[in-house]
Every structure is written in C-alpha cells, then in structure tokens.
Chains A and B, each alone.
Chain A
C-alpha cells in the first residue's frame, strides 16, 4: 500500500436489521482516501455517509468488505486491538461536540492522552499548549457551558488532535456554527490536522464550506455518485 493512501475501503456493504427486514444502506463501496487531503463526504440525510465514516473509523463493523487505515486491516483486528488502534491513530470530532460538562476545556482536550495512560498533569499541560495554538488559550479553565459553540468546537478539535492521530474523522463539524465560524473551524482543521502523512475526512452537508475541500465524495442511496475537487452543479 502506498504511504500516500490513508484509507482504503473495499467492497463494503452494510445491512441493518429492522425486525425480520434487512435494509442495505451501503452497497459495495470501493473508495480510497489519500493522506495530505481534506476529504468531504457529502450527501442527503440517509445517503449512508455517517454509516460509511463510522466504518472507516473502526466503530461500526461492515456486513461485508474490508477497510484498511494506513495499511492496517481494521476488521481483522481483535476488539481490544481495534480499540487501541483507534486511540492511537484516529481522532474524532462530533457534531454535538460531546465534551464532558464537568471538565474544563483543557481537561476535555486532554482526555485521549489520559486514556492512553499519560499522567493527568502532563496531559492537561499539553492540552493547554494545543488550545493556545487553536486560539482559545484564554478559555482553558472554563467549562463547556461557559464557551460559545465555536469555542466548544475548537476544544473538540483539540481533543481530536491532542494525541497526533494520522486520521481525523469529523461529523458535521460546522452544523451548529454560523458561516464565518464554520469556515474558521475548517481552516483551522486544515492548518493543524493535515500533513503529508495525515488525512482528514469530514462528513457534511454544509455547502458553505464545500470550496475548502481538496476532494468531495458525494453519496446517494448508499453509493458514491461523485468523486472530485468540486461538487457538480446538479448535485
């Protein structure tokens, strides 16, 4: 596998069971995500983009097919090794931020390091440095409820990046932000998360930020229907 390839998805299908009925939400997806690129996964609600990114990130088993992340075949790993792999390799940014309400911004950002066994004081100190780089250094000791949506999203970005993951997956990171804040968040992500050996995948249907992508994968009914630098006008 080329070192330039961050994620390779091969023949992935995903079925969900509803009682006796089975609903196929992904139909044999084959796609690759290259390192050094900001890749968007776009589409209408129900198109399968969240399911696909969950499978790419190793938190949802596919019904069939394989996913390699930087050369590691995720779903051949044991549960324990898969969890360890995620902790070491993947950073997550969620639409609702999912920050822990009783931890300060710095403590929230330090969670992945603490989970990996870094002493708390060391982890929080590193998180403070990172939050300074993310321009919210003055908010380190505030609780999430004391921060604006944009500031909370920066803390969430800090949490996703604190352990220097090679792959960052983001779910609608700008959905709760105004246009200006959304663009600033995406610029920030590009600045701090992207590198020649790193990749960022963003699930979004926020067309205000489409122009910031290096590559856009559009999905419809569980299939990838477009792959390019720009969104086609009829999409």
Chain B
C-alpha cells in the first residue's frame, strides 16, 4: 500500500512539487544560515587558530579576546619567560591602523607584529615570497584577500609600497591567513617594525604567546603564569572559545540568525502543512474508499508516513545540495566566504528540524484522514 501512497502523491505533481519546495526552502535556509552563523562565530577564534604552536595566550587582566586587547608593558615578556614550565614565550602585537591604497583612499588594516627571532605569529602558509623576506627593512606580508582588495591580484601586490601611518612599508610576501570576524586586511611584520609602524604609548605589547615545556600541563602552567605575574593566561582552546563567546554575548548575530532559521522552519511548516492538507482534502474520497474497502487505519498511517518520508528525503536532499552549492559558489566568487565550511552537525540539525516539521504536518494530515468515516464515500 506504500507504493499506492507514493503514486497518489507523485501523481499530483503540483502539490508534490509544493511539498518538496517547502522542505527544500526550510533545509536551504536552516543549513545556509547556520553555516554562515557558525563560520562567523569561528572567526572570533581565527587569531588563536593561526598560531597553533602557542599553548597559552597571556594578556592584561582586562583583555578578553584576540581583538579586544589592553597593551602590556614590554617587561611582561621577561617575567613570563621566567615562570617555571614555560618552554618559550614570544611577543605578539595586534593593533588597528590605516594604509593609503594605490588610489589614495584610506583602508583600515590590522597590523600583527610577530616575534623578530622566530616569526612566531606569522601564518603557516606563505603563498608568494620567501618567509625570510619578512626580516628585510620595512617588510610586511599581506593576507591574500587583502592583496586582492588593495592591489587587484595577489601577484600584483608583491613589492608594492604602502603608506602605513605615514611610514613606508613594502609588501614582500602574501600569506594565507584565517579571516577574522571583522574581515579586515591583515598586515604581518616583525615586532620591532610594528613598534615603528604603530607609534603610541609605552605599552604596546598585546599578547605573549607561550609554549609549555614538554610534559607540562598547559592549564597548570597558565595558572602558574597568572600567579607569578598577575597577568591573564588562557590555554589556547579556552581563549579561542573566549573569542566566540564574545561575539555571542556582544552582538545581535545569534538573535538575527536565530530569527532567520526560525522563519525558515515556520514558513516551511506553513507551505508543507497547507499543501499536505490540500492534497489530503483532494484525495479524501479516495482515502475514504480505501477505508471502506478494508484498508486499516494502521495501513493508512503507513501510507501517510511513506508520503511524508518521501517528501522529507527529496526535499532535504535537494535543500542540502543547494545549501552546499551556494556555499561553494560563495567561496569561489567572494572572499567573504573564505574558509567557510559546513560542520557535520548542521546537516544533522537541519535533518532533525525537517523531521519535526514533516512529523507535525504529517500528523495533521493523518488526523484528517483518520477522522474520515468510510460511510462518507456513500454520501
């Protein structure tokens, strides 16, 4: 009888298409919006993920995230290096600045000053140029997206001069950096250069990157650093989470995305529910005839379940494919989607939501059928 149910459903092509469209729409909206939401949140942790060698990030006690910093005195670096369990400690500066673009406009950038000796803090992948070129005078590396934004192409950015806070900087390399939440152009330079590019108060050290000695527990070392220096020390994973939590707590993004996802579910329920009801109403005499002939309510339930399952499977599959296609196109044609991916949990969440939606609308439709008395087909 499930076969008959499927034929009844697919035979009414307009309603079948309407039902599938409702599920596709919901799946697409849920998957696409949750994917963007999650990836935006993960950008709050991008700076931490970019330096995987650092077990611990040390900052001023008022520091909160890689983007919300309070400068430290330079002496803090030596104090941290003196704490037991610290294998090495390197300075890292992150600060905002402005560069004048080739067409004369001012572009906000984030300047990252990395350790002069080890270049700790520089992204792992240098796409163009030599890593050692960062040691040249006035050298900066620019992220690939920033290179395209300022110079049109990545290769076109190499050896170009920039006016950075009234000082000359020369682009010596292009790096593949993880996009940040603000998606600003990233300029990497040695810490000593950064001090020149970003004149200011005495304290300009943003973070101290620490690697714990082999065998040492990073959490214990972080506690020891705090105890010995009074500075805030966060294990990398926790600090990455701090960046994500900051976005959740201080922006309207979760609410906005939540509303969009909720709308996707509500509109999906409305479309699917209404179309399913119309389909059942149009076929109510056929269902009544089946009940009169001797089809049990249990079989009727299985028939409606088969119809619901087919709509859910096709709609979910198409919706998921569209969402992934949308993301792939976005990654190809827009830097805004750089690094975006769909965690496996999101299709699972979408599947659960679609299942709930189909269950709800299927139950409403089923109620109509079960309430139909077989004798009604004689009236």
Contact residues of A with B, CB < 8 Å? 50, 53-54, 57, 59-60, 80, 83-88, 90, 92, 94-96, 98-103, 107, 111-112, 114-116, 120, 159, 171, 203
Contacts and interface: CB of A to CB of B under 8 A. Distances in A.
B292 A57 contact: yes
Given A59-B375, A100-B286, A115 B8 contact: no
Interface of B: 1, 3-4, 7-8, 10-12, 283, 285-286, 288-296, 299, 373-375, 377-379
B375 A100 contact: no
Contact of B377 (A83, A85, A98, A100): A98
Given A59-B375, A60-B375, A115-B1, A98 B286 contact: yes
Contacts, number: 86
Contacts of B8: 100, 102-103
Given A83-B294, A102-B8, 15 more contacts: A59-B375, A80-B296, A83-B295, A83-B296, A86-B292, A86-B293, A90-B294, A92-B293, A94-B289, A94-B377, A95-B378, A100-B4, A107-B4, A115-B293, A171-B378
A113 to B, nearest CB: 11
B292 A115 contact: no
B373 A59 contact: yes
Given A50-B379, A115-B1, A101 B11 contact: yes
B377 to A, nearest CB: 6
Q: Which 4 A-B pairs have the closest CB atoms?
A: A102-B11, A87-B294, A98-B289, A60-B375
Contacts of A101: 11-12, 286
Chain B: interface secondary structure?
A: helix
A46 to B, nearest CB: 11
Contacts of A85: 294
Given A83-B296, A100-B8, A102-B10, A115 B378 contact: no
A140 to B, nearest CB: 16
B7 A100 contact: yes
Contacts of B378: 50, 53-54, 59, 94-95, 171, 203
A159 B286 CA distance: 13
A92 B4 CA distance: 19
Contacts of A60: 373-375
Nearest to A61: B375
Contact of B299 (A53, A90, A100, A115): A115
Contact of A111 (B4, B11, B285, B288): B4
A98 B285 contact: yes
A114 B1 contact: yes
Contacts of A88: 294
Contacts of A92: 289, 292-293, 377
A101 B288 CA distance: 14
A101 B11 CA distance: 7
B294 A102 contact: no
Contacts of B292: 57, 59, 86, 92
B288 A98 contact: yes
B162 to A, nearest CB: 68
A171 B377 CA distance: 9
Interface centre among A60, A83, A94, A95 (most CB of B within 10 A): A83
A99 B379 CA distance: 16
B64 to A, nearest CB: 62
Contacts of B373: 59-60
A192 B57 CA distance: 90
A180 B294 CA distance: 32
B293 A103 contact: no
A63 to B, nearest CB: 14
A198 B180 CA distance: 82
A207 to B, nearest CB: 20
Given A50-B379, A100-B8, A171-B378, A115 B289 contact: no
Contacts of B377: 92, 94, 96, 98
Nearest to A203: B378
A22 B331 CA distance: 70
B289 A86 contact: no
